[in-house]
């Protein structure tokens, strides 16, 4: 485990909170996978399995007034940000009581109450939005931070470069978080980038840039604290590359022809939950039965969210053309 110089308050409770966030996301998504096979959840379903330390390490560092822009692999971000599990699950079902009224589904979770500006299904499409959110805060003199999550696949998009340039040029309070899981769908990083050290690209835009072990929640959190503090102090963007891995396929219907099972297995060994949980136990920070209690509590929450989503109403067909323009 990283022994960071910028150690946050590593109280036992805080550490268990970090663990709880990750387990909650993992168990929720396992249930989603199951529900997908049963055709309760449809469309594309992109799971975050393996990358939980990134959302869990970064989002709790933010204040409620800060803003979050995420990708189509954003269930974890929404849950950690505080979007209720029931409304996320109902959204996955396409029910009216979902966090986006059922209109978005898995890839488009939105929540105004927590300043959660959505899963965006266009790779790189969320970056310019984050620039705009930060620009508004910058122009008004608000000290909010906008965190923008994206995968390393987005780095090949023009919008990535346009956005980094704009943020740095205009001194905008953006925390760029690249969740580098090594594969853009099925194409490995070295097959798509001439420079595979992504944080170096960001540095070329004249901004603070750091790479961190994205499988280590404590390291991620420490980096996030440094970054957010820097942004608030200097009013300039910071770039964080979190090196991580997804254990599951890109989406549910993916035979994973592009990577070896051995590779997946070796990454699983350094999985963010298994490592952190082990470390907590070794250091007697997690006591006997505590993890099990957390799991039990989360399982009850999941069961309740599924029951809620199952029972929730479908939006009436008469509402089909709602939410295209503001209601008069």
Residue closer to another protein (CB basis): 110 or 245: 110
Least spacing, CB of residue 114 vs another protein, in Å: 11
Least spacing, CB of residue 132 vs another protein, in Å: 2
Residue closer to another protein (CB basis): 99 or 228: 99
- Can you name the residues that pair with 149 across neighbouring β-strands? 177
Largest Cα–Cα separation, the chain = 61
Residue 242 CB: number of other CB atoms within 10 A? Answer: 29
Place of tokens 């008069």: 328
Going by the DSSP 8-state scheme, the letter that residue 312 receives in this structure is S
- Which stretches does DSSP call E strand in 31-159? 67-71, 116-120, 146-151
CA dihedral (83, 151, 199, 56) in degrees, to 10, reads 30
Q: How far apart are CA 150 and CA 154, in angstroms?
A: 6
Q: How far apart are CA 303 and CA 283, in angstroms?
A: 32
Residue closer to another protein (CB basis): 159 or 241: 159
Least spacing, CB of residue 10 vs another protein, in Å: 30
Residue closer to another protein (CB basis): 10 or 304: 304
Residue closer to another protein (CB basis): 33 or 285: 33
Least spacing, CB of residue 293 vs another protein, in Å: 18
Q: What is the edge-to-edge ordering of all strands in the sheet holding 116-120?
A: 116-120, 67-71, 146-151, 174-180, 238-243, 208-213
3-state secondary structure of 258: coil
Least spacing, CB of residue 31 vs another protein, in Å: 8
Q: How far apart are CA 7 and CA 67, in angstroms?
A: 24
What residues make contact with another protein under the rule CB under 8 A?
A: 30, 33-34, 36-40, 42-43, 67, 69, 98-104, 108, 110-112, 117-118, 120, 122, 125, 127-137, 139-140, 158-159, 162-163, 165-166, 169, 249, 251-257, 310, 314, 317, 322-327
Residue closer to another protein (CB basis): 40 or 232: 40
Least spacing, CB of residue 51 vs another protein, in Å: 17
Residue closer to another protein (CB basis): 113 or 200: 113
Residue closer to another protein (CB basis): 158 or 289: 158
Residue 35 CB: number of other CB atoms within 10 A? Answer: 19
- Is residue 48 a contact partner of residue 255, using CB atoms and an 8 Å limit? no
Least spacing, CB of residue 108 vs another protein, in Å: 4
CA distances from 262 to 184, 185, 267, 270 (A): 19, 18, 9, 13
Q: How far apart are CA 39 and CA 92, in angstroms?
A: 11
Least spacing, CB of residue 99 vs another protein, in Å: 8
């Amino acid at each position: 485990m990283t022994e960071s110089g910028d150690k946050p308050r590593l109280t036992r409770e805080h550490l268990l909170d970090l663990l709880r966030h990750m387990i909650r996301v993992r168990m929720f998504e396992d249930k989603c996978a199951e529900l997908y096979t049963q055709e309760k959840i449809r469309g594309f379903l992109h799971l975050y399995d393996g990358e939980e330390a990134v959302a869990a390490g970064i989002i709790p560092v933010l204040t409620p007034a800060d803003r979050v822009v995420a990708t189509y692999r954003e269930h974890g971000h929404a849950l950690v940000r505080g979007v209720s599990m029931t409304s996320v699950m109902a959204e996955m079902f396409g029910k009216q009581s979902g966090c986006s009224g059922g209109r978005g589904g898995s890839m488009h979770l939105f929540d105004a109450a927590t300043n959660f500006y959505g899963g965006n299904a266009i790779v790189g499409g969320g970056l310019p939005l984050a620039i705009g959110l930060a620009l508004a805060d910058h122009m008004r003199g608000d000290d909010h931070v906008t965190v923008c999550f994206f995968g390393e696949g987005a780095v090949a998009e023009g919008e990535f470069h346009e956005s980094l340039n704009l943020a740095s040029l205009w001194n905008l309070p953006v925390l760029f978080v690249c969740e580098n899981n090594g594969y853009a769908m099925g194409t490995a990083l070295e097959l798509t980038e001439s420079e595979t050290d992504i944080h170096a690209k960001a540095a070329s835009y004249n901004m603070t840039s750091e790479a961190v072990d994205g499988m280590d929640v404590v390291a991620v959190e420490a980096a996030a604290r440094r970054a957010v503090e820097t942004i608030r102090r200097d009013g300039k963007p910071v770039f964080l590359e979190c090196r991580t891995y997804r254990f599951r396929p890109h989406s549910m219907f993916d035979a994973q022809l592009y990577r070896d099972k051995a590779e997946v297995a070796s990454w699983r060994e350094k999985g963010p939950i298994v490592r952190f949980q082990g470390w907590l136990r070794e250091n007697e920070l997690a006591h006997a039965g505590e993890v099990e209690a957390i799991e039990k509590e989360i399982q009850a929450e999941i069961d309740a969210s599924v029951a809620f989503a199952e029972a929730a109403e479908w939006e009436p067909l008469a509402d089909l053309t709602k939410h295209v323009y503001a209601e008069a």
